[in-house]
Amino acid sequence: MRTALVSLLFLLCFPLVARHIIGGSMTYKNLGNGDYEITLKMYRDCFCTACAQLDPVAYIGIYRCGGSNNCNTQRDAFARLDVPLTSRRNVTRPDYPCLEPPNVCVEEGIYIFRLSNYRINLPLSSESYHITYQRCCRNVTINNIVNPGSWGATYTVEITPEAQTLGSSSPEFNTFPPTVVCADFNLKYDHAATDADGDSLVYELCPPLAGGGNNLDEFTYTTCVGAYPRPGCPPPYSNVPFRPPYSATVPIGGTPGLAIDPVTGLMTGKPSPIGQYVVGVCVLEFRKGVLLSKTFRDFQFNVARCDQKINADIKEDRQIADQEYEINSCGPTVIKFLNESSPRSSIRTTDWEFTVQGRKLSSQEWEPQLTFPGIGKYSGLLIVNKGTECGDTARIEVNIFPDLEADFVYKYDTCEANFVEFTDKSVSGSKLLSTWRWNFGDGGSSRLQNPKHTYLKPGKIPVTLTVRDTNKCVESITKTINYFPVPAVIVIAPSASDACVPSTITFRNLSVPIDSTYKINWNFGDGGTANKISPTHTYKEPGTFNVTVDLVSPIGCKTDTSFRNLIRVRPSPKADFDIDPESVSILTPNVRLVDKSEGASRVLWKFSDGRSYADRNPVFLVRDTGQIRITQTVINSVNCVDTLLKILDVKPEIRYFLPNAFTPNGDSKNDVFKGVGITQGIREFKMGIWTRWGELVFETEDPNEAWNGRRFNAGQEAPMGVYVVLVTYRDPRGKPAEIKSFVTLVR
């Protein structure tokens, strides 16, 4: 298929103020009683993101001029209006029947305002009313005017005294000119306007009006310079200066030049130079020979190189050049042409034309079938839309070569697996084959003429041979081989050959070729059997076992193999041990492990506190209270393993004793009374001391606090005698304990 690259350098965006206006117009409707509805339309390049936007408010000036009042300054304005933007939309890109223009985006902004809404009335006058909007800036890339960035635009409409008197409205242009004009393509654009009053209209090319320039200074009412007149300046307005050889009547180059029919408004021409061109069109409104109004519009023509939409194309064997195609036939002289011309909806006729031995061979079918006389080269054309401007042509070369027939034979031992031998039997009318390409159907391939191939899997295997001769003719043939031999050698690989009871062993079958269509019988030597390709079997008794495999292919070929003494299964060791003593405390920390395992050559011990031993009967000290998980691992001479877990409970121990007398006489000997012993981990401790008559003289919750013989250790001295003592507590594991005793106080 043909492709074309379109370069639109003139669509590149320039700085903010430098790109804005690409056209506009102003019209009016007479609503009666001095009220008018004004419509201002402005157009900008909406692909330019760094450019000025449509004004949210248009600053409109209304002037009444004639006689001695020439409306020379903005101070002479009859009215000044700030008109908000009414609506905006993107203008539809033109649809050319034969060409595909580049994508150009034009945005239209419409300002519609009624004078009565601004409390303005235009009374009948012997002078004209001029309604004006001005704005900078035109595109700096315009080709046909001098210093395009220095000139803005003026959009104005004149309501003449005659139009006021007759209540006339101005004509309305029907459509916006095409956003893109294709270079070297005949332009036909209906630039006609509609007049609601039925007046006569005359069309002519006229000069665009200058407006706000690139001077961004604020306006004053005494001058009319700069970019944003507020409001638009009064008449008279200067014309935009054209750059030779262009002018208002010759705004674009090309042959024929741009022209407009004065009666119909049909704009014609064949623009040639690529670029941007500003064009002005005026429509003059007459009633009974009297000029009522002159409505003006200017716009920007983007002349660009367009892709050809109509494309003559075929399904070819080779593309020689742009729209030159080659079709090759090896033997057959009847050619079916496949038409890929596009777009199908725009193609009205197709003509196939060949000259064969001095006579014409032709068809007007979309996809004809043509018969050529024999071997040779034939040239022709495909012409779509023949004789029209939307036509296109493709050149075709048809080569009829001698016949080429692909063929091969093969042979192999159908029952015993071995290579398959392939022999080429292809025949070419050119007498010379150049290449062979074999696809063996299992991912394998070869470029030899007569190859050999070994298959690792059985099945109905499609084998394809593709041959090519010196004429570049290519033919293929596919044949199916029923390949179901038995393996020449049965090969198995057990996951273990020397193991311990119980032992689960996987037997991988490495024999080729086999698959699930083969009948397979396994005998594992211990009475167990299986019929899978690679089974798994568990040996539950010790011994030495033969393994036998029988194979039968889908076509009845058989083979078998017995592997003698393949598997040896030994007895497994048995882990066992005692903990001596079975129960210990932190006060009796010595422990001995007594090995009672059977059949073990090595013994390993692992403790949950991180310790490990390799002695058969290790002795160790407990480090803390709590449970210790002890794991014994026993290993025999063939590395069979057994394990056993036991738990040693190291109990916490509280030993608390109360003396039976004390002497609080200040000699530093036995001056206080308190319990003694091992109290680590004790909880909820309470001790109370009472007289024989039940009077409480001391109590504490601290096992380390002593009674000094005074009431609650701070009052009067307690008299000599016997006192009752009660102690309660819980041991570290929450077990409650209670001690009742007597103590004698001696002074």
Report pLDDT for 40. 97
Tell me the percentage of the chain whose pLDDT exceeds 70: 93
Residue listed under structure tokens 């089974």? 535
**pLDDT, tens digit, 9 for 90 and up, residues 295-337:** 999 998 889 887 777 899 999 999 999 999 999 999 999 999 9
672 and 708 in contact (C-beta within 8 Å)?
A: yes
**pLDDT, tens digit, 9 for 90 and up, residues 435-478:** 999 999 999 999 999 999 999 999 999 999 999 999 989 999 99
Rounded distance, CA 665 to CA 710, Å? Answer: 11
11: helix, coil or strand? helix
Partners of residue 65 on adjacent β-strands: 128
Partners of residue 276 on adjacent β-strands: 142, 302
Report pLDDT for 139. 81
340 and 368 in contact (C-beta within 8 Å)?
A: no
CATH of domain 310-401: 2.60.40.10
User: What class, spelled out in words, does domain 655-745 have in CATH?
Assistant: mainly beta
323 and 395 in contact (C-beta within 8 Å)?
A: yes
Classify domain 492-570 at the CATH topology level. Immunoglobulin-like (2.60.40)
DSSP state of 365: S
Name residues whose C-beta falls within 8 Å of residue 415's C-beta, 6 or more positions apart in sequence: 485, 486, 553, 555, 557
Tell me the percentage of the chain whose pLDDT exceeds 90: 68
From residue 627, alpha-carbon distances to 197, 455, 584, 623, 644 in Å are 112, 64, 11, 11, 16
Residue listed under structure tokens 């690259």? 5
Q: Do the two domains 310-401 and 655-745 of this chain adopt the same fold?
A: yes
377 and 398 in contact (C-beta within 8 Å)?
A: yes
**pLDDT, tens digit, 9 for 90 and up, residues 687-698:** 999 998 889 999
* CA 398 to chain CA centroid, nearest Å: 45
700 and 714 in contact (C-beta within 8 Å)?
A: no
Residues 642-649 have a mean pLDDT of 92
In the predicted model, what is the mean pLDDT of the chain? 89
Q: Which CATH architecture has domain 404-483?
A: Sandwich (2.60)
Whether 9 has a pLDDT exceeding 70, the answer reads: no
From residue 183, alpha-carbon distances to 7, 102, 323 in Å are 13, 12, 22
From residue 148, alpha-carbon distances to 205, 210, 279, 441, 734 in Å are 19, 10, 13, 72, 102
Whether 365 has a pLDDT exceeding 90, the answer reads: yes
From residue 553, alpha-carbon distances to 108, 121, 447, 482, 514 in Å are 81, 108, 31, 12, 8
State the pairing for strand pair 290-304/181-182.
parallel
Rounded distance, CA 308 to CA 391, Å? Answer: 10
From residue 663, alpha-carbon distances to 673, 676, 695, 707 in Å are 9, 17, 20, 11
Proportion of the chain in helix, strand, coil states, percent, rounded to 5: 5, 50, 45
SS3 of 709-723 = CEHHHCCCECCCEEE
650 and 586 in contact (C-beta within 8 Å)?
A: yes
Whole-prediction pTM value? 0.49
659 and 625 in contact (C-beta within 8 Å)?
A: no
Which CATH number applies to 577-651: 3.90.550.10, 2.60.40.10, 2.60.40.1220, 1.25.40.10?
A: 2.60.40.10
Rounded distance, CA 476 to CA 571, Å? Answer: 64
Q: For the chain, give every domain's residue range.
A: 17-304, 310-401, 404-483, 492-570, 577-651, 655-745
Sequence letter at residue 410: Y
Report pLDDT for 123. 95
- Report the run of H or E that residue 698 belongs to, with start and end: strand 696-700
